[in-house]
Structure 1
Amino acid sequence: MELRQLEYFVAVAEEQNFTRAAERVHISQSGVSAQIRRLEHELGADLFDRSGRTATLTPAGRAALGHARAALAAAEAVEQAVGEVAALIRGRLTVGMVVGCTVTPLFDALAAFHAAHPGVEITLLEDASDRLADDVRGGAVDLALVGAASAPPEGLEACTVVDERLVAAVPAGHALAGRGAVTLAELVAYPLVCMPRGTGLRTVLDRACAARDLRPAITLQAGAADAIAALAARGMAVAVLSESMAAAYADRLTALPITDVDTPALLALVWRSEPGPAVRELVACARRAFS
């Protein structure tokens, strides 16, 4: 008994016609008929009643159909399992990271994945979060760490790894340094330095200002938290950062909660639905790293 014979048998049973079944499996009608005859001879029973205009299953055929389908499904599962292993032996992954990100667990995840699957080539690129999300949707990027405001990008699978509020950060001697907190209106009275458009932090800030009809003077932009902090520490402008970013520069800057901005800035891993085996494995590595 061969798998192709079972495939032809299922095709004839479903089409109820030898000609249509032959077209479906892409061989001649005589070829299908011959293979079905061989299968029937091996089983010792007719599987089809050929007396009418349609090929109808005999009692033996009805008994065999479910098992034939199960055998074909099992064979397909074997092929898929082997294919997934092969994809993890050789392949290529493109991983995106929002510009200026300093979250090192992503690098730990990449290192763990590379150690387990050294044959997979990894390309890492930086870009704005909105463009990375579009690239993931379009298939140009397999997995990305992106910033977002309040919720991960729509249409993608996601795992939020950071959920923080915005803060203002100022050096000693600044007019706001003695304050315990500031409102958004008080903050935008000063020049600001922050992330560029397309990042999660900037989206939260822009939306909060638009909702209050405020027009901030963003005089400086930088894609790295280090650069933003360095500019603020030199008195160039007030920095707008996340809580954890600002905490890293506590020796140079005082962080001030922005009392009326409740929307969090998120950092999330995003990928397409039904990912391939390499992406699934990298997501698993990332979840462990960020946990």
Structure 2
Amino acid sequence: MDLRQLSYVVAVVDEGGMTRAAAAIGVAQPTLSQAIRSLEAELGVELFHRVGRTVQLSAAGAALVAPARAALRDAATARAAVAAVAGLEAGHLDLVSLPTLAVHPLAELIGRFRAAHPAVTVRLHEPDDPAAVERQVREGAAELGCTELPVAEDLVTVPLAEQEYVALVPSDRRSTVGRSPSVTMTDLARLPFITTPVGTSARRQLDERLAAAGVVATIAVETDHREAIAPLVRAGAGVAIVPGDVAAAARGAGADVVPLRPRLVRRIGLVHRDGPLSPAAHRLVQLAVGDGRGRRRPPPRRR
């Protein structure tokens, strides 16, 4: 078993077929197919079920994918460590982040990293579920993640900031939720809500807060596009709970920003696997910690 074979397996999974995988990584399909067959012969199992011109992961293949990603990530880290003396003059850094955190605080951190290391390409992926962020980091699909804290104990955390949520209310409906300087979930539930679909981080925050208040709310609009929430509020479609930095950009022109009572604050930070980081990832963590924003917290050691 070698890294080339593992990279071919991962490529077939990511691209959804051998033809597309071969094209994506720049090898002839017979070469890729033969390498996978050799690996299957070595392991004594089928990694893919071949159905006509399509392939499907077998149970054994599915079990191999995460370790294969981790092995490829570790190999990339080793290569990058050797090249570190070149001063980060090449390479890439894979990040994964919740969408709202990619805007703040991650964008500013990436900007500073890129200013210092313009030859390093940053590849950012944005799943909408904290569990997906943890999973991609754990499996090696990304080296660093930006997500809500706390996370599972097997990951190292670097606290970055606290993010406060506020209510965004249509200006012409402000009196409906009361005129006090802050509002409760009971106040907000007098109007329908605009939110993201079930399973997303923002929806979980809303549902948990409503449940804690014992309030049953009406959902007016569910949208995958967070950028649509503020315009929908301004148009009078309903109220929303959004991060403060998002609300600040939407203030005025038909929307009022109102603090929540009690406050809703989430802690956010970087996470990575326990172990050595590539030079690029190490530098990004250094920037975060050097700000005084966070302190690296390794996972607890098992006794």
**Which TM-score tier does this pair reach, normalised by the shorter chain?**
0.5 to 0.7
| C-alpha distance in structure 2 between counterparts of 1:221 and 1:270, whole Å | 29
Displacement, 1:284?
Answer: 2.0
Q: 1:113 to 1:245 in 2, by over 3 A?
A: closer
In structure 1, stretches of 5+ residues that fail to align are 1-78
Aligned-partner Cα distance in 2 for 1:80–1:172: 53
Cross-structure match for 1:184: 185
The answer to whether residue 109 in structure 2 is matched with residue 93 in structure 1 is: no
Query: Partner of 1:162 in structure 2?
Result: 161
Contact kept? 2:177, 2:191, Cα under 8 Å? no
How far does residue 215 in structure 1 lie from its aligned partner after superposition? 3.0
Change (3 A) 1:104 1:244: closer
| 3-state SS, counterpart of residue 246 of structure 1 | helix
Alignment of structure 1 residues 180-219 onto 2, 5 Å: 180-219=181-220
Measured in 2, the distance between the counterparts of 1:198 and 1:286 equals 29
* Distance apart, 1:232 and its partner CA: 0.4
Cα distance, 1:203 vs. partner?
2.5
Aligned pair in 2 of structure 1 residues 117, 176: CA closer, same or farther (>3 Å)? same
Q: Which residue of 2 aligns with 1:258?
A: 260
Secondary structure in 2 aligned to 1:202? helix
In terms of mean alpha carbon deviation, does 228-237 or 152-161 score higher? 152-161
2:154 corresponds to 1:153: no
The corresponding residue for 1:135 is 136
Q: Does residue 124 of structure 2 align to residue 124 of structure 1?
A: yes
Please name the residue that 2:278 is paired with.
276
Counterpart Cα distance in 2 of 1:95 and 1:81: 18
Mapped partners of 2:91, 2:80: distance in 1: 16
- Partners of 2:167 and 2:239 within 8 A in 1: yes
Alignment of 1:33-48 (within 5 A): none
Number of residue pairs aligned between Structure 1 and Structure 2? 209
CA contact (8 A) 1:95 1:125 kept: yes
Query: What's the Cα RMSD here?
Result: 3.2
- Sort the Cα spacing of 1:279 and 1:183 in 2 relative to 1 into closer, same or farther, 3 A: same
* Residues 81-105 of structure 1, C-alpha deviations (whole Å, 9 max, x = no match): 7564369444332112322456355
Task: Report the 3-state secondary structure (helix = DSSP H, G, I; strand = E; otherwise coil) of the residue aligned with 1:95.
Answer: strand
How many Å separate the matches in 1 of 2:116 and 2:163? 32
Deviation at 1:192, TM superposition (A): 0.4
| Structure 1 residues 197 and 158: CA distance shift in structure 2, 3 A | farther
Is 1:94–1:142's contact at 8 Å kept on the other side of the alignment? yes
From the superposition, tell whether residues 123 and 290 of structure 1 become closer, same or farther in structure 2 (CA, over 3 Å).
Answer: farther
**Is 1:157–1:270's contact at 8 Å kept on the other side of the alignment?**
yes
Give the deviation of 1:283 after TM superposition: 1.7
Any idea what SS the aligned residue of 1:165 has? Answer: strand
Amino acid at match of 1:184: M
Q: Which runs of 5+ in 2 are unaligned?
A: 1-78, 294-303
Q: State, as a whole percentage, how many aligned pairs show the same letter.
A: 29
Q: CA deviation at 1:231?
A: 0.3
Asked if the contact 1:168–1:255 (Cα under 8 Å) also holds between the matched residues in 2, the reply is: yes
Contact map agreement 1:191 1:237 (CA 8 A) in 2: yes
AA aligned opposite 1:207: E
Show the 5 A alignment for 1:33-112. Answer: 82=82, 84-85=84-85, 88-101=88-101, 103=103, 106-112=106-112
Kept in 1: contact 2:177–2:187 (CA 8 A): no
Greater C-alpha radius of gyration: 1
User: In the alignment, what sits opposite 1:231?
Assistant: 232
CA distance in 2, matches of 1:263, 1:171: 20
> 1:149-183, CA deviations, whole angstroms, 9 ceiling, x for partnerless residues?
xx332232223333233322112220226343222
Q: 1:145 to 1:195 in 2, by over 3 A?
A: farther
| Amino acid of the structure 2 residue aligned with 1:278 | A
Deviations 1:227-278 (A, max 9, x none): 2111001100111112332222221322222314x44123322222223332
Amino acid at match of 2:152: E
Q: Which has the higher mean CA deviation after the structures are superposed, 151-160 or 238-247?
A: 151-160
